[in-house]
Amino acid sequence: MNANQQEAGTADEVRLLRDSAADFVKRSTNHQRTRALRETLPGHDADVLRSLTELGWPAILVPESHGGMGLGLTSMAAVLRELGRGLLGEPVVANWVLPVRALEFGDNDDLKAKLLPQMAEGKVTAALAFQERNGDFGSNVTRTTAVTSKTAVLLSGTKRFVAGCSGADGFLVTANADAGTGLYWIRREAPGLTLAHEWHADGTASGILSLSGAPAEAVAATPATCAAGLARALDEGAVMVCAELLGILSETLDRTLDYLRTRVQFDKPIGSFQALQHKTVDLFILQEICQSVLEQSVRVMDESATTSAERGRMASRCKARLSDAGLRVTREAIQLHGAIAMTDDCDIGLYFKRAITLSAWLGNAEYHRRRFASLQPPGN
Amino acid sequence: MQNWNSMPDHDFRQFMADFIAQNLPVELRGKPYRLGWEKSKPWFQTLSKAGLIAPAWPVEYGGMGLAAAKHIIYLEEMDRAGCPWMNEQGTMNVGPALIIHGTEEQRAKYLPRILSGEDVWCQGFSEPNAGSDLASVRTEARVEGDELVINGQKIWTSGAHDANMMFALVRTDKQVKKQAGISFVLMDRLQPGITIRPIRMIDGSSHFNQTFFDDARAKLSDVVGGLNNGWKVANSLLGSERLWAGSPRHAYKYLAILEKVARLAGRASDPSYIERKTQLTLDADDLASTYRRTVSTISTGRGYGFEASLLKIWQTELSQRIMELALEISSDAGGLSGDVSLDGETINLLYPYIESRPPTIFGGTVQIHRNILAKNVLKLPS
């Protein structure tokens, strides 16, 4: 098989996945359910989760050698874009992207062999707990400690902003030992582990994980691989959030266009008014810009030759753009709909709040612009 | 014959860079303004003799036949080296119009003369009452035997003073819907029936002209694409003009000016400046991603679509925002005209600031392009 055939093969796979995701979203979108699940635990519908699992999507990124599909981020992005349209994306990035990648980029092959096949089948759900204070990213801000006792490694500290926490069977937790910061796998039922929640803007749960001498089950990444692996997982995760955001803003734009074509005031469809047309065209342009930067980002992330600095710049470019655009499109959609969109009965508000949630997660636009500026290649 | 497209991208880039370095006279480099034909002619002829003057034309007509990715490299290397703007009407507009819509006789007669620089062309599209509403052209052409007799007035005829040939949109039928009565015709610019008058612009240049037709004559055989079919021919050119206007290289050029201003004005490490510059850089980088995505779809055989309008809007408004920031941070120097000395270096602020304004106007204002997108792409009601 030559490179072109391989690429065509991949394109076909991506198309199939996208079509099946679009079909799933068409059948399963139900915003009465979306409303009912807000600020509840676990916060997702068991039937929807079962269907997603049956479609094999927890396995998309898991390597074939560990029982997964071994597909790239291009495939995952295609699924997430569609799921975003139906507000069905939770908890894909949190449970099926971040922990899978963080584990894979670590150096515990036995743990990979044990956990990844179960994660691929949806039998074990993991979440990544790396953040402690507001606005802290990366591994150099960890205060949680890992102390080796006679029988186990005991973790102590508090993790905040843990997404995908409510259905998690265990957590990948960053913690400092004498040798440096590592990534530890700890079970939900471990003694000394408690989980509390605060609510995201969209009513999904954001976990607060308290650890007081809680025994870890294994080291997922030693200090030798932890920082680089985590950075890569977070960059990839940020781009995957962008895929979901693109689905959200595209759906919001489509619904807004429908409204502009049908809502009549002054005896005309309001979409005939130039002021509204121009505002909407600007949102459409933004959508196209977003699609371009997302497609390029996913491609760059999937290329094996990409350096960590390039990955960081690309991820920050992408998340800066999509975080901004997600917020802008959804709030302008409210303006273009008028007062009806401020009511809880109107679906636009659901998209608006999901966009707020995802825009802030894994670094908002302001954070990523600053990071992009700090990662400029030498000479610029 | 050289097959440029089979050359690896890196080698092609190197070839272009080397060629420019070895052949472009130093005094023509990095000029912020257009050079007249007299000054730029030697460089045109150097490119012409090397077969490098028409990157997008098919090889069979004497072009380089570059695929989209190679064409981008060609333009990037030209920009990087500060190659001067030259009269591009022949290679960018008349040539492609003839290649797509012309007859064999027209191509044989005109294309070689465009490539050699023997003919220099100017464009007669806009009129005092047909700007964004281009289909309202009134310059009238009446058929007399095997000739057209032309009367009326054009405006914004760029480079008319350097040109010996003109292509124009003229009204050949007043009885039909306005788009259906227009013809695209080629004519001798230097004939007695055509007079031009330069228009002095706010940047001090006189590149644009008014053009007056007083029983000017063109051959019927020089109508391109058939009588009354000119709107279609013109539209096939406007796409490439929009795509040109949407290229990120313009924005990058202004970003380089902004960075120089920031350095000379002592603002380069000011956090508030960095924050704003970063936003503009991201806007340019994301435009570049979109431009590449657009160009790659065009190269797979589709014509210019709505994407060209989209790129034009984003790019031209971005360039303006960049120059607005440059002026804002330049302090007192921002109020000076011409080359300004700062910290022992020279920079011209006023020229690029003014130069960034008209791209949101010519080729259809950005407001008209928003109308086009609203109607044709978003299918919003009228």
What is the per-residue pLDDT across B44-61, written as a single tens digit (0 to 9) for each? 999 999 999 999 899 999
Domain CATH number, residue A218? 2.40.110.10
Q: How confident is the model at residue B196 (pLDDT cuts 50, 70, 90)?
A: very high
- Asked if residue B302 and residue B214 are part of one domain, the reply reads no
Beta partners for residue B61, in sequence order? none
What is the pLDDT averaged over residues B4-18? 95
- Other beta carbons within 10 Å of B15: 17
Q: Is residue B305 predicted with pLDDT exceeding 70?
A: no
Domain CATH number, residue B187? 2.40.110.10
Element counts in chain B: helices (H) and strands (E): 11, 10
Which has more pLDDT, A115 or A11?
Answer: A115
- Asked if residue B206 and residue B253 are part of one domain, the reply reads no
Beta partners for residue B219, in sequence order? B147
Q: Pairing relation of β-strands A153-163 and A205-216?
A: antiparallel
Q: Find the range with the poorest average confidence among A231-245, B250-264, B287-301.
A: B287-301
Question: Tell me, what's the pLDDT at B30?
Answer: 79
C-alpha span between A178 and A223 (Å, rounded): 10
Question: Tell me, what's the pLDDT at B64?
Answer: 94
Asked about B140 being catalytic, the answer comes back as: no
- Asked if residue A230 and residue A361 are part of one domain, the reply reads yes
Does residue B115 fall inside a structural domain? no
Specify the number of domains making up chain A. 3
* CB-nearest partner of B314 from A272, A289, A291: A289
Question: Tell me, what's the pLDDT at B304?
Answer: 58
Residues of A in contact with B290 (CB under 8 A): 288-289, 292-293
C-alpha span between A55 and A78 (Å, rounded): 14
- Asked if residue B269 and residue B346 are part of one domain, the reply reads yes
* CB-nearest partner of B279 from A281, A285, A369: A369
What is the pLDDT averaged over residues A50-63? 96
Point out the domain boundary residue: A87, A120, A153: A120
- Asked if residue B367 and residue B303 are part of one domain, the reply reads yes
What is the pLDDT averaged over residues A309-318? 97
Does residue A131 fall inside a structural domain? yes
Does residue B116 fall inside a structural domain? no
Does residue B57 fall inside a structural domain? yes
Point out the domain boundary residue: B194, B229, B264: B229
Q: How confident is the model at residue B380 (pLDDT cuts 50, 70, 90)?
A: very high
Nearest CA among A16, A147, A167 for reference residue A94 = A167
Q: How large is the C-alpha radius of gyration of chain B?
A: 21
Q: Contact at 8 Å (CB) between A144 and A173? A: yes
Residues of A in contact with B307 (CB under 8 A): 288
Question: Tell me, what's the pLDDT at B302?
Answer: 46
Domain that holds residue B215: 121-229
DSSP structure string for B315-350: HHHHHHHHHHHHHHHTGGGGG--SEEEETTEEEE-H
- Asked if residue A351 and residue A230 are part of one domain, the reply reads yes
Does residue B11 fall inside a structural domain? yes
What is the per-residue pLDDT across B105-131, written as a single tens digit (0 to 9) for each?
999 999 999 999 999 999 999 999 998
What is the pLDDT averaged over residues A309-315? 97
- Asked if residue A342 and residue A268 are part of one domain, the reply reads yes
What is the pLDDT averaged over residues B317-329? 97
Q: Is residue B299 predicted with pLDDT exceeding 60?
A: no
- Asked if residue A22 and residue A114 are part of one domain, the reply reads yes
Question: Tell me, what's the pLDDT at A1?
Answer: 42
What is the per-residue pLDDT across B201-218, written as a single tens digit (0 to 9) for each?
998 888 899 999 999 999
- Asked if residue A148 and residue A91 are part of one domain, the reply reads no
Domain CATH number, residue A238? 1.20.140.10
Q: Give the closest-approach CA distance of A311 to chain B in angstroms.
A: 15
- Asked if residue B202 and residue B168 are part of one domain, the reply reads yes
Question: Tell me, what's the pLDDT at A8?
Answer: 55
- Asked if residue B153 and residue B218 are part of one domain, the reply reads yes
Q: Do the chains contact at A373 and B314, CB–CB below 8 Å?
A: no
Residues of A in contact with B314 (CB under 8 A): 285, 289
* CB-nearest partner of B285 from A269, A285, A317: A317
- Asked if residue A234 and residue A218 are part of one domain, the reply reads no
Cβ-based burial of A176 (10 A; exposed 0-12, middle 13-18, buried ≥19): middle
Point out the domain boundary residue: A173, A202, A223: A223
Q: Contact at 8 Å (CB) between A78 and A86? A: no
- Asked if residue A257 and residue A288 are part of one domain, the reply reads yes
Q: Do the chains contact at A269 and B286, CB–CB below 8 Å?
A: no
Question: Tell me, what's the pLDDT at B243?
Answer: 73
Question: What rounded mean pLDDT belongs to chain A?
Answer: 95
Point out the domain boundary residue: B166, B195, B229: B229
Q: Over pLDDT 70: what percentage of chain A?
A: 96
C-alpha span between A124 and A106 (Å, rounded): 18
- Asked if residue B126 and residue B57 are part of one domain, the reply reads no
- Other beta carbons within 10 Å of A167: 19
Residues of A in CB contact (< 8 Å) with B are 257, 260-261, 268-269, 271-272, 274, 277-278, 280-282, 284-285, 288-289, 291-293, 295-296, 317, 320-321, 369-370, 372-373
| ipTM for the assembly | 0.91
Q: Is residue B241 predicted with pLDDT exceeding 80?
A: no
C-alpha span between B87 and B92 (Å, rounded): 9
Domain CATH number, residue B80? 1.10.540.10
Q: Do the chains contact at A261 and B379, CB–CB below 8 Å?
A: yes
C-alpha span between B265 and B281 (Å, rounded): 19
Q: Contact at 8 Å (CB) between A22 and A79? A: no
Does residue A379 fall inside a structural domain? no
Does residue B103 fall inside a structural domain? no
Specify the number of domains making up chain B. 3
Point out the domain boundary residue: A96, A120, A144: A120
Per-residue HEC secondary structure of A98-130 comes to HHHHHHHCCCCHHHHHHHHHHHHCCCCCEEEEC
Q: How confident is the model at residue A380 (pLDDT cuts 50, 70, 90)?
A: very low
Does residue A380 fall inside a structural domain? no
Nearest CA among B197, B229, B195 for reference residue B215 = B195
Domain that holds residue A164: 126-223
Q: Is residue B97 predicted with pLDDT exceeding 80?
A: yes
Q: Is residue B281 predicted with pLDDT exceeding 90?
A: yes
What is the pLDDT averaged over residues B12-32? 91
What is the pLDDT averaged over residues B136-150? 97
Q: Over pLDDT 90: what percentage of chain B?
A: 74
Q: Is residue B265 predicted with pLDDT exceeding 90?
A: yes
- Asked if residue B365 and residue B282 are part of one domain, the reply reads yes
Does residue A112 fall inside a structural domain? yes
C-alpha span between A200 and B16 (Å, rounded): 54
- Asked if residue B264 and residue B292 are part of one domain, the reply reads yes
Does residue A361 fall inside a structural domain? yes
Q: Pairing relation of β-strands B147-155 and B121-124?
A: unpaired
Q: Contact at 8 Å (CB) between A93 and A256? A: no
- Asked if residue B326 and residue B297 are part of one domain, the reply reads yes
Residue B94 identity (one-letter amino acid): V
Point out the domain boundary residue: B229, B257, B286: B229
Q: Find the range with the poorest average confidence among A143-157, A213-227, A252-266, B289-303.
A: B289-303
What is the per-residue pLDDT across A59-103, written as a single tens digit (0 to 9) for each?
999 999 999 999 999 999 999 999 999 999 888 999 999 999 999
Q: Phi and psi (nearest 5°) for B131? A: -100, -100
Q: Give the closest-approach CA distance of B371 to chain A in angstroms.
A: 7
Q: How confident is the model at residue A227 (pLDDT cuts 50, 70, 90)?
A: very high
Does residue B96 fall inside a structural domain? no
What is the pLDDT averaged over residues B278-305? 80
Q: Is residue A271 predicted with pLDDT exceeding 90?
A: yes
Question: Tell me, what's the pLDDT at A9?
Answer: 61
Does residue B186 fall inside a structural domain? yes
- Asked if residue B365 and residue B253 are part of one domain, the reply reads yes
What is the pLDDT averaged over residues B189-194? 97
Residues of B in contact with A293 (CB under 8 A): 285-286, 289-290
- Asked if residue B272 and residue B332 are part of one domain, the reply reads yes
Question: Tell me, what's the pLDDT at B301?
Answer: 44
Does residue A142 fall inside a structural domain? yes
Question: Tell me, what's the pLDDT at A216?
Answer: 98
What is the pLDDT averaged over residues B176-183? 96
- Asked if residue A146 and residue A74 are part of one domain, the reply reads no
DSSP structure string for A309-373: HHHHHHHHHHHHHHHHHHHHHHHHHHHHH-GGGGSTTSTHHHHHHHHHHHHHTTS-HHHHHHHHH
What is the per-residue pLDDT across B360-375, written as a single tens digit (0 to 9) for each?
998 889 999 999 999 9
Q: How confident is the model at residue A46 (pLDDT cuts 50, 70, 90)?
A: very high
Does residue A176 fall inside a structural domain? yes
Q: Is residue A361 predicted with pLDDT exceeding 70?
A: yes
- Asked if residue A69 and residue A184 are part of one domain, the reply reads no
| Secondary structure element (H or E) that encloses residue B40, with its range | helix B37-49
Question: Tell me, what's the pLDDT at B85?
Answer: 75
Domain CATH number, residue A43? 1.10.540.10
Question: What rounded mean pLDDT belongs to chain B?
Answer: 91
- Asked if residue A164 and residue A64 are part of one domain, the reply reads no
Residues of B in contact with A377 (CB under 8 A): none
Angle at alpha carbon of residue B297, lines to B293 and B299, rounded to 5°: 115
Q: Do the chains contact at A257 and B378, CB–CB below 8 Å?
A: yes
- Asked if residue A293 and residue A194 are part of one domain, the reply reads no
Q: Give the closest-approach CA distance of A252 to chain B in angstroms.
A: 14
Residues of B in contact with A295 (CB under 8 A): 289, 293
Q: How confident is the model at residue A298 (pLDDT cuts 50, 70, 90)?
A: very high
C-alpha span between A342 and A349 (Å, rounded): 7
- Other beta carbons within 10 Å of B339: 12
What is the per-residue pLDDT across A318-360, written as a single tens digit (0 to 9) for each?
999 999 999 999 999 999 999 999 999 999 999 999 999 999 9
- Asked if residue A179 and residue A42 are part of one domain, the reply reads no
Q: Contact at 8 Å (CB) between B184 and B169? A: yes
Task: Determine which one of B76, B118, B127, B241 is catalytic.
Answer: B241
Does residue B101 fall inside a structural domain? no
Q: Give the closest-approach CA distance of B281 to chain A in angstroms.
A: 9
Q: How confident is the model at residue A378 (pLDDT cuts 50, 70, 90)?
A: low
Q: Do the chains contact at B380 and A260, CB–CB below 8 Å?
A: yes
